[in-house]
Structure 1
Amino acid sequence: MKKKLNYLMLLITIIFMVGCTDVEDASGAEEPTKPQEETTVNTDEEQAEESEPEEEKVNSKDEESTTAVAEESETDDEQFQGYDLIEVDGGDLSGHRESKVVVDIGFGDREYWAFTNEYGQLVRIIADEIILQDDNSEPVLSSGRYYSDEAKVPGVESDVLDEGHVIADSLGGVSNAYNITPQDSTLNRNGDVAYMERAIRDAGGATNFEAIITYPDTETQIPSSYQYTYTLMGNEIVDTYDNVNPDEVNESLGLTDSEPSKEPSNSTGSNSEGDVSSVDTNGNGKVTISEAKAAGFSMPITSDHWLYQYMDDRDGDGMVGE
């Protein structure tokens, strides 16, 4: 009996020793995995920290973009305050204008803003940039226009008034009533307005454009005068024109019967000094192409001509009216 008891105790001791060894082995096998888990956690944290600056950069760019859009929107809101923004097709032939509205009269993606007053008169057009017509990429007719006809604003039915664009087709303007005014035909086709349009085309466009249109009363749609302000190649230009036939004005002032012996009509260059007061009809110290032509001078006027110093050579090539 005692011998059996000894065998039983020995068996229990062996089992106990084997069990302890397994536990220690298992514990030893698991131990190396702890640093690996810690390393993984640390790596994830470092990656998160590294990604934060990138996210901050993206968020910063988004915020800047949002701010720029907001500022632009605020600028438009300030300009358009008191006016209703409406859309009118560029080729709309109706001569009617709504009162106190603003309309984009730029062809395509251009932004040329036209404003009317409380009487439905077109009084102002502004554009940050005048972008020239591109007949290679835009649907331009053989006539050089975007549309075959212009809006029938009251007054254009006159034989001496054109359906005059405030911003011409060649400068990217459309043909609805918010860009058309009854304009003296001579002034529009051969006068200072035509010269202004050519100067802008020759310069490849203009910036900071503004046209102010004035009327003699609150009922007519026929302007009495125009004032254009724009920047060409860094120079600010201000042009003011009365909506009249410049040839008739000069004739009424007796300036169309100049004596050929004093200045041959076909002469474009002369060093002999002349009397500018006989050419400068409005007495502003400057001579326009219309005034020079009315006084009997032929174009162009070159830099060696005595009249050149009183004229505006906008492209700086030594010739005016070429």
Structure 2
Amino acid sequence: MKKNTKKFSSLIAVIFAALLIGITILSNNTDSEHYSAGNSKDEITATDKGSADPSKKDTAEDDKETENSSKEEPSTDWTEDIFAGYTLIEVDGGDLSGHREPNVVVDIGFGDREYYAFTNEYGQLVKVIAKEIILQDDSTEPVTSSGRYYRDEAKVPGVESKNLDEGHVIADSLGGVSNAYNITPQNSTLNRHGDQAYMEKVIRDAGGCTDFVAIITYPNTTTQIPSHYSYTYTIKGNVIKDEFDNINPDEYNASLESNTSTSNSNSSSNTTAPAENSSSGSNTTTTVDSSNTSSNAGSTSTAGTVYWTPNGKSYHTTKDCSTLSRSKTILEGTLEESGKSDPCDRCH
């Protein structure tokens, strides 16, 4: 009985030893596999860093996309810098109040147009800009029979004068609204028939323009009546600059004609003085001695058509004379009908 027990114990010892050896071998194999897998991972990392770690790959791609996105998109909107120092406020396009807030910027474009008007610390309208001028479209926009968006314009101080209009900086036809941030008291003739009207026509005929900038100046800080306008805009790649004073162009041209005639008369008198004895009269001396060209032009004008303005002192031989370019009313007929005796110095 004791002998059998001894044999049974030996058998258990052998089995235990065998199990222990098996566990040791299995453990070594597992470590070997782990080592091999580690080498394999290192090799992938060395040959293809972009796909070794999926999480790192996603992060790298996200960073790359962010970088590309920042390059494609502009760093700031074009309006951000120009708004610096101003408070952006909203004013209804048809607001008839003539009051303006100081140091503000207002969108004065009808509908979705982005036209911006700026005031200074005195509430004077000093600048209006538009990246693109988009013409009025009466087929899709609520336009009145008179071509207006609104029934009236803002009553900016000064427009009560009979000689001043409620003048749009950007006209209705060009998509501008009628509140005080787009209206200035402007000479009626200038607004309706002068440089302001001519500029608006040029932009309409071109189908719009880009990079529009209006700079408005004043004689002092207390008035809302401008003294000067300066416009810059681009049409088909050509930069156009228009500058003019807030005055009646007809009266200005008439004064130019008067000054030119006076200067011409004085010059002729000084030139002809030595030849006085050879002439039969002072009038004849002035006409003949001024120059042969003037004499011939004068005889041609007498026989043909001449042009003049009601308040002008001179007559013109061509309707395209530069001194007539800003005149609202140009008359034509014979020299006798004009009642003028002085020829224009620029036409002759």
Shorter-chain TM range is 0.5 to 0.7
2:16 alignment partner in structure 1: 16
Partner of 2:82 in structure 1? 76
Residue by residue over 1:208-252, the C-alpha shift from the partner in whole angstroms, topping out at 9 and shown as x without a partner, is 322233334444333333222222222222222333343454556
Q: Report whether the alignment pairs 1:121 with 2:124.
A: yes
Equivalent-residue separation in structure 2 for 1:292 and 1:138 (angstroms):
31
Mapped pair 1:238 → 2:241? yes
Q: Greater shift after overlay, 200-209 or 9-18? A: 9-18
Identity of aligned residues (%): 54
Measured in 1, the distance between the counterparts of 2:2 and 2:223 equals 137
| Map of 1:294 onto structure 2 | 330
CA–CA separation in structure 2 for the residues paired with 1:113 and 1:222? 20
- Cα distance in structure 2, aligned partners of 1:168 and 1:105: 11
Select between 1-10 and 32-41 the one with higher mean Cα deviation.
32-41
Larger radius of gyration: 2
1:58 to 57, 60, 65: 65
Q: Distance in 2 between matches of 1:249 and 1:104?
A: 34
* Aligned counterparts of 1:40 and 1:260: Cα–Cα separation in 2: 106
Of the structure 1 ranges 151-160 and 239-248, higher mean CA displacement relative to structure 2 is found in 239-248
Task: Rate the CA distance shift 1:136–1:218 in 2: closer, same or farther, 3 A.
Answer: same
Deviation for aligned residue 1:128:
3.3
Name the SS for the 2:19 alignment partner: helix
- What SS does the aligned partner of 2:60 have? helix
SS of the residue corresponding to residue 146 of structure 1 reads coil
Q: What is the letter of the counterpart of residue 129 of structure 2?
A: I
Which of residues 91, 102, 106 in structure 2 aligns to 1:103?
106
Instruction: Report the CA distance between 1:165 and its aligned residue.
Output: 0.2
CA contact (8 A) 1:183 1:243 kept: yes
The secondary structure found in structure 1 opposite 2:53 is helix
- 1:190 is aligned to 193
Shift of 1:177: 0.7
Larger helix share, 1 or 2 = 2
Check if 1:146 corresponds to 2:113. no
SS in 1 for 2:75: helix
Task: Report the more deviating stretch, 236-245 or 14-23.
Answer: 14-23
Assess, with a 3 A threshold, how the Cα gap between structure 1 residues 295 and 40 changes in structure 2: closer, same or farther. farther
Summarize the Cα distance change of 1:70–1:211 in structure 2 as closer, same or farther, 3 Å threshold: closer
Specify every segment of 5 or more residues in structure 2 that has no aligned partner in the other structure, as ranges.
46-50, 259-300, 308-315, 334-346
Query: Are the equivalent residues in 2 in contact too, given 1:94–1:177 (CA < 8 A)?
Result: yes
CA distance in 2, matches of 1:33, 1:141: 87
From 108, 112, 115, the equivalent of 2:115 is: 112
Q: 1:90 matched to which residue of 2? A: 93
Number of equivalenced pairs: 277
Question: In the alignment, is residue 223 of structure 1 matched against residue 229 of structure 2?
Answer: no
Contact 1:105 1:111 in 2 (8 A): yes
Question: What corresponds to 2:133 in structure 1?
Answer: 130
CA positional deviation for 1:206: 1.9
1:210 aligns with 213
Using the alignment, how far apart are the partners of 1:227 and 1:261 within structure 2?
43
**8 Å contact from structure 1 (residues 279, 292) kept in 2:** no
CA contact (8 A) 2:193 2:328 kept: no
Please list the CA deviations of residues 132-160 of structure 1 after superposition, one character each: whole Å capped at 9, or x if unmatched.
33445544444433322210112323344
1:166-190 residue CA offsets vs partner (Å, 9 max, x unmatched): 1112222211111111223332223
- Which secondary structure does the structure 2 equivalent of 1:69 belong to? coil
TM-score (norm 2): 0.62
Judged with a 3 Å threshold, the aligned counterparts in structure 2 of structure 1 residues 207 and 262 are, in CA distance, closer, same or farther, namely: farther
Q: CA deviation at 1:196?
A: 1.0
Structure 1 Cα separation of the partners of residues 225 and 28 of structure 2: 102
Q: Deviations over 1:17-42 (max 9, x none)?
A: 66357647865996797479656897
Residue 167 (structure 1) aligns with: 170
Note the aligned Cα RMSD (angstroms): 4.1
Q: Is the 8 A contact 2:194 2:327 kept in 1?
A: no
* Cα distance change on mapping 1:68 and 1:277 into 2, 3 Å: same
Aligned residue for 2:179? 176
